[in-house]
């Protein structure tokens, strides 16, 4: 008689089945099999928030098959994902299959490899009710907010709107940033920059003015700048001091869920949903010629930086083989996780470091290869030796003015031989990743000034959030958990509370209206500190230091009072969503059209409504022209939401491309060019038979997939 193991996904079932052999039957629940009902609240508030679960209708056949198989199996093990959600799914399965939750029926796999599966099966346990109750509390909190606050928005703004406990805070963060940008007042400032040439040197180096007559200088206008430039005319530039030192540069730690999503956005231009989908596939298992079905990475929802000793030893062994003993970190590197992180799982790493990215290339999808390569390189680099940088700082004086010049060279590349954190290569935090060297300078050496210029600058407003920076902000503020970042961003995009402008996230008018209304009447719901405290309370429930129903009672008491007060204050009132005016005339009455937001997105409607009810679709003109018929190129989206560009003449022409049309013309045939993004970016002519193309600086693709 075989034993039954139930996992969440068919791909995972296939991989685990290969390792366990004929004595086990592995089946998949395909996610949740029970949930709160869709059509009603599903929470009995009077009976201490008792949830009313229902079997999912689309799982009826699967539930019957699982029951049948469980009845004829020796033992039943529940092997859903090793987190709160997975524990809750196992709890629901135990209920449906009449299993004793206290008995050792629960197994978890940190990695779907032979070792990982063997270790998991060797340590079955009872269900962790702390994890289950934390998930139940989160689900009920979200249901209460969604089902009780959304009708308020329907009555006061528009039907079909919804609010979410975490999503509404995320929207507020984006709205607050947009207001900060709008209210920003730019300030003028100037710098004085010199281009200097050492004696016998061939290439000048830059230096920046920092002090005048021993005092730090701040230039706010051209007049003051010109005074100093006049003073520097004909001045002798002399090296007054040189400071040389060696600096260590440490590698970044292995990935957590948050840092993986951020780095995949920066380096691979993946959005968070694409990253997590690909990571799930790598965890659950892929087919490789030499290994069969195998999970390539450890569990991808984690905020821990812990690494097993076995994984460290394997990495160090491989580093020695591939790069040499000098590249293996001499000590034992331990990365410290954040105070509120869950340490149940390791950081995200390869299941078997000896499976290199080169070995899987051609056997997995492009996305799987790129993400695995990123994870593999980051993990391996974390166990490599520090980089050593020779730094040079020079003080240069000219008529009482002090200029500073800094540079560095790489003495030993260490981990940088394999991996550089993209956030650093973009100039943030530690910054120095290139090789910028100063010439060999000596004290009292006279330098030739190739140029000394005053440059005008203006302070810049903070940038809009990208998915990467929003995830970082959510994590830093304690909003949500690793498993919630991607679905939160997807939800607020789908609800049209925010939209993408290239890779940036900006609030829509609808998002601003909803946020302002919630801030006025439900400040706690969109307050970052309050939401972060709720996450802390959920963590306490998980660790059995807080009663889950007590947390719900405390939240609901205040929430109900606030809702009652808001309904009273808003009685008879309704908030209008402002239209965005355009200069497009209405084809029927001549009045201008406005951009309106309906249940299915933005559209153009006559400003003379209700007298004129004319509407039309919004056409996103992308610029450039079609290489086949010279028609307008329009920005469009595929059925899966992936942006592309297509000719306006869909029926007669039908030309489409993922590459961006640009305004530059082809020097050969004078037709408009297209830009292909990525590391091997280029401008090219798409006219059949032309063939013109030229390389451009590497950069992100204009299409954020």
Nearest-angstrom CA–CA distance, 494 and 488: 10
Q: Mean pLDDT, the chain, as a whole number?
A: 91
Residues with Cβ within 8 Å of 623's Cβ and at least 6 positions away in sequence, in order, are 633, 661, 662, 663
Q: Is 142 exposed, middle or buried (0-12, 13-18, 19+ CB in 10 A)?
A: middle
Distance of CA 107 to the CA centre of its chain: 30
Residue span of the structural domain in which 503 resides: 136-183+463-569
Same domain? 179 vs 192? no
Same domain? 403 vs 484? no
Q: What pLDDT, on the 0 to 100 scale, is given for residue 700? A: 38
Cis peptide before 610 (omega within 30 of 0): yes
Same domain? 332 vs 400? no
Query: Among 538, 569, 600, which residue terminates a domain?
Result: 569
pLDDT tens for residues 235-285?
Answer: 999 999 999 999 999 999 999 999 999 999 999 999 999 999 999 999 999
pLDDT tens for residues 22-42?
Answer: 899 999 999 999 999 988 999
CATH number of the domain that 548 lies in?
A: 1.10.460.10
Same domain? 217 vs 154? no
Residues with Cβ within 8 Å of 675's Cβ and at least 6 positions away in sequence, in order, are 659, 660, 661, 662, 681, 682, 683, 696, 702
DSSP string, 82-111: SSHHHHHHHHHHHHHTT--TTSS-B---SB
Same domain? 157 vs 193? no
pLDDT at 699 over 60: no
- CA gyration radius for the chain? 30
Instruction: Tell me the pLDDT band of 434, cut-offs 50, 70 and 90.
Output: very low
Instruction: Tell me the pLDDT band of 343, cut-offs 50, 70 and 90.
Output: low
What is the pLDDT averaged over residues 213-228?
96
More confident residue, 125 or 341: 125
Quick check: is 274 in a domain?
yes
Quick check: is 11 in a domain?
yes
pLDDT tens for residues 628-677?
Answer: 888 888 888 777 667 889 998 888 888 999 998 988 889 888 888 998 87
| Nearest alpha-carbon partner for 255 in 240, 237, 267 | 267
Quick check: is 264 in a domain?
no
DSSP string, 38-51: SSS--EEGGGTTEE
CATH number of the domain that 69 lies in?
A: 3.40.50.140
Ranking 93-97, 153-157, 343-347 by mean pLDDT, the lowest is 343-347
pLDDT at 605 over 50: yes
Same domain? 410 vs 348? no
Nearest-angstrom CA–CA distance, 276 and 257: 8
Q: What pLDDT, on the 0 to 100 scale, is given for residue 697? A: 54
Same domain? 595 vs 638? no
Same domain? 123 vs 7? yes
Same domain? 95 vs 164? no
Report residue 685 as tokens: 């002519």
Question: What CA dihedral angle connects 25, 30, 33 and 37, to 10 degrees?
Answer: -170
Q: How many CB atoms lie within 10 A of CB 108?
A: 23
pLDDT at 390 over 90: yes
Report residue 76 as tokens: 């039943």
Same domain? 95 vs 12? yes
What is the pLDDT averaged over residues 558-575?
94
Burial 290-316 (b: 16+ CB within 10 A, else e): ebebbbbbbbbbbbbbbbeeebbebbb
pLDDT at 121 over 70: yes
Q: What pLDDT, on the 0 to 100 scale, is given for residue 670? A: 86
Query: Among 352, 382, 412, which residue terminates a domain?
Result: 382
Quick check: is 260 in a domain?
no
Report residue 609 as tokens: 């409504």
Q: What pLDDT, on the 0 to 100 scale, is given for residue 635? A: 86
Q: What pLDDT, on the 0 to 100 scale, is given for residue 641? A: 67
Q: What pLDDT, on the 0 to 100 scale, is given for residue 624? A: 83
Structural contact between residues 467 and 492, judged by C-beta atoms closer than 8 angstroms? no
Q: What pLDDT, on the 0 to 100 scale, is given for residue 426? A: 43
Helix (H) or strand (E) holding 205: strand 205-212
pLDDT tens for residues 173-187?
Answer: 999 999 999 999 999
Residues annotated catalytic, as ranges? 299
Query: Among 430, 458, 486, which residue terminates a domain?
Result: 458
Q: What pLDDT, on the 0 to 100 scale, is given for residue 614? A: 93
pLDDT tens for residues 348-387?
Answer: 999 999 999 999 999 999 999 999 999 999 999 999 999 9
Same domain? 295 vs 334? yes
For helices 366-382 and 309-323, the axis angle rounded to 10 degrees is 90
Quick check: is 331 in a domain?
yes
Structural contact between residues 212 and 401, judged by C-beta atoms closer than 8 angstroms? yes
What is the maximum alpha-carbon separation in the chain? Answer: 96
What is the pLDDT averaged over residues 515-529?
94
Quick check: is 261 in a domain?
no
Same domain? 558 vs 605? no
More confident residue, 21 or 518: 518
Quick check: is 259 in a domain?
no
DSSP helix/strand/coil, 287: strand
Quick check: is 258 in a domain?
no
What is the pLDDT averaged over residues 69-89?
94
Q: Is 75 exposed, middle or buried (0-12, 13-18, 19+ CB in 10 A)?
A: middle
Instruction: Tell me the pLDDT band of 620, cut-offs 50, 70 and 90.
Output: confident
Structural contact between residues 302 and 482, judged by C-beta atoms closer than 8 angstroms? yes
Based on the structure, what is the number of domains in the chain?
A: 6
């Amino acid at each position: 008689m075989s034993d039954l193991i139930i996992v969440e996904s068919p791909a995972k079932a296939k991989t685990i089945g290969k390792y366990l052999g004929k004595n086990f039957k592995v089946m998949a629940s395909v996610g949740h099999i029970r949930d709160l009902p869709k059509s009603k609240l599903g929470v009995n508030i009077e009976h201490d928030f008792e949830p009313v679960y229902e079997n999912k209708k689309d799982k009826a056949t699967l539930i019957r098959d699982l029951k049948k198989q469980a009845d004829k199996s020796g033992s039943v093990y529940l092997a859903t994902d090793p987190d709160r959600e997975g524990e809750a799914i196992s709890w629901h399965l135990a209920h449906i299959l009449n299993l004793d939750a206290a008995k050792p029926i629960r197994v978890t796999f940190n990695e779907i490899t032979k070792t990982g599966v063997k270790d998991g099966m060797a340590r079955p346990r009872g269900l962790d009710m702390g994890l289950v109750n934390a998930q139940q509390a989160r689900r009920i909190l979200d249901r209460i907010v969604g089902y009780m606050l959304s009708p308020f928005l329907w009555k006061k703004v528009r039907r079909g709107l919804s609010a979410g406990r975490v999503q509404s805070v995320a929207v507020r963060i984006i709205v607050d940033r947009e207001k900060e940008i709008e209210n920003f007042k730019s300030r003028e400032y100037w710098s004085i920059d010199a281009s200097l040439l050492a004696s016998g040197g061939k290439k000048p180096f830059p230096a920046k003015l920092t002090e005048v007559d021993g005092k730090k200088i701040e230039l706010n206008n051209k007049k003051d700048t010109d005074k100093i430039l006049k003073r520097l005319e004909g001045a002798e530039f002399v090296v007054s001091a040189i400071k040389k030192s060696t600096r260590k540069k440490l590698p970044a730690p292995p990935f957590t869920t948050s840092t993986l999503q951020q780095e995949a956005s920066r380096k691979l231009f993946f959005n968070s949903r694409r990253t997590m989908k690909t990571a799930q596939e790598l965890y659950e298992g892929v087919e490789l010629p030499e290994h069969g079905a195998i999970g390539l990475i450890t569990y991808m929802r984690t905020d821990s930086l812990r690494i097993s000793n076995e994984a460290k030893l394997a990495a160090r062994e491989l580093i020695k083989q591939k790069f040499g003993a000098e590249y293996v970190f001499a000590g034992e590197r331990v990365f410290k996780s954040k105070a509120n992180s869950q340490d149940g799982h390791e950081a995200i790493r390869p299941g078997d470091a000896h499976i290199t990215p080169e070995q899987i290339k051609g056997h997995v999808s492009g996305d799987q290869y790129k993400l695995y390569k990123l994870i593999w390189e980051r993990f391996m680099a974390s166990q490599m030796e520090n980089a050593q940088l020779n730094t040079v700082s020079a003080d240069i004086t000219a008529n009482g003015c002090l200029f500073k010049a800094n540079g560095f060279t790489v003495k030993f590349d260490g981990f940088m031989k394999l991996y550089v954190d993209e956030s650093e290569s973009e100039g943030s935090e530690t910054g120095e990743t290139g090789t910028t060297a100063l010439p060999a300078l000596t004290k009292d050496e006279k330098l030739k000034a190739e140029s000394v210029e005053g440059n005008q600058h203006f302070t810049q407003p903070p940038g809009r959030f990208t998915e990467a920076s929003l995830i970082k902000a959510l994590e830093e503020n304690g909003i949500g958990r690793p498993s919630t970042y991607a679905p939160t961003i997807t939800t607020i995009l789908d609800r049209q509370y925010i939209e993408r402008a290239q890779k940036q996230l900006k609030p829509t008018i609808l998002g601003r209206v909803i946020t302002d209304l919630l801030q006025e009447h439900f400040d706690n719901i969109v307050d970052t500190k309050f939401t972060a405290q709720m996450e802390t309370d959920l963590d306490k429930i998980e660790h059995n230091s807080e009663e889950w129903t007590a947390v719900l009672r405390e939240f609901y008491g205040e929430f109900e009072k606030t809702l009652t007060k808001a309904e009273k204050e808003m009685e008879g009132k309704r908030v209008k969503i402002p239209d965005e005016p355009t200069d497009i005339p209405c084809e029927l009455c001549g009045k201008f059209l406005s951009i309106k937001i309906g249940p299915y997105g933005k559209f153009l409607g006559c400003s003379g409504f209700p007298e004129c009810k004319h509407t039309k679709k919004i056409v996103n003109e992308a610029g450039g022209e079609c290489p086949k018929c010279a028609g307008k190129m329009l920005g469009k989206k595929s059925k899966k939401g992936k942006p592309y560009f297509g000719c306006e003449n869909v029926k007669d022409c039908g030309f489409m491309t993922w590459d961006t049309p640009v305004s530059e013309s082809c020097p050969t045939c004078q037709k408009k060019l297209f830009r292909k993004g990525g590391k091997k970016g280029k401008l090219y002519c798409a006219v059949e038979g032309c063939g013109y193309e030229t390389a451009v600086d590497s950069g992100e693709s204009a299409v954020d997939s």
